[in-house]
Amino acid sequence: MSNDYQPGLVSIIMPCYNGQRFIGESIESVMKQSYQDWELLIIDDGSSDESGALIETYTVKDKRIKLIQQENAGSAAARNHGIKEAQGQYIALLDSDDLWYPEFLTSQIQFMHERKVSVVCSSYERIDENSKVFMKPVQVRYKITSKAMEAFNYVACLTGLYDRSKHGKIYLDESLKSLLDDYLFWYQAIKFDGVAYGNQRILAQYRIAGNSMTSNKKKLIKKHYQFYRQKLYLNPVQSLINTLKWGWQGVVKYAR
């Protein structure tokens, strides 16, 4: 693998579509990181609100923040645009309404080096539209094998960190139409080493909006079954079993 990246640099990929309400808070959570060697690539995916203008004000404040604009193509295409432009050794995917604690990058990079793997993630809290913590924190599984990832995505996208120095860049599958594309991304990343590790520390905050698409589980059952069959190439029985496991995990995860 050629050294076509800046060692130690973290490339943070943040897609944004009409994210004016929350994106400022998300950007500021990056700016507060104790680990300073990062670039924040924000991809404005054809927003019709004032997101672009707001992002521009941050690019003036901090030269590590870069705005990339494109016509609306969905979050997977936006993330891929950012990954293509990324210069860093590490890739992180942070949505425009989620937050990191200041020690997120410092803790995750240290944790990654200690475990000698290409992927790490962490535990996280859930916040509402007013940035208030509710429900119980999600405690990440400590050891996550690629086999375990066939049944359930144990990597919360906002907590994942991928070191591309050994295996190069990977991209999201745009044919999934921005649904389960992050699942496949982290599955493929973990498959290189066969294992990832979860930092038990709570290092991030995932925002749950009232109209969140992933909150409607019934509509996703068929999509999950198709995902297991067509993207992970599992047989029909295993695909059905894993779909049922996913449904049960969802019940447990969102139980107050």
Q: Are residues 151 and 203 in the same domain?
A: yes
Q: Are residues 235 and 137 in the same domain?
A: no
Q: Are residues 144 and 233 in the same domain?
A: no
Q: Are residues 54 and 150 in the same domain?
A: yes
Domain that residue 119 falls in: 6-215
Q: How large is the average pLDDT for residues 170-183?
A: 96
Torsion sign across C-alpha atoms 60, 35, 121, 123: negative
CA atoms within 13 A on the CB side of 200: 2
Q: Are residues 134 and 161 in the same domain?
A: yes
Q: Are residues 114 and 221 in the same domain?
A: no
Q: How many domains does the chain have?
A: 2
Quick one: which of 224, 211, 27 has its CA closest to 129?
A: 211
The 10s digit of each residue's pLDDT in 31-86 is 999 999 999 999 999 999 999 999 999 999 999 999 999 999 999 999 999 999 99
In sequence order, the β-bridge partners of residue 67 are 42
CATH of the domain at 79: 3.90.550.10
Q: Are residues 70 and 30 in the same domain?
A: yes
Residue 24 lies in a domain: yes
Residue 1 lies in a domain: no
As given in the structure block, the two tokens for residue 185 are 């991304």
Residue 213: the pLDDT is 45
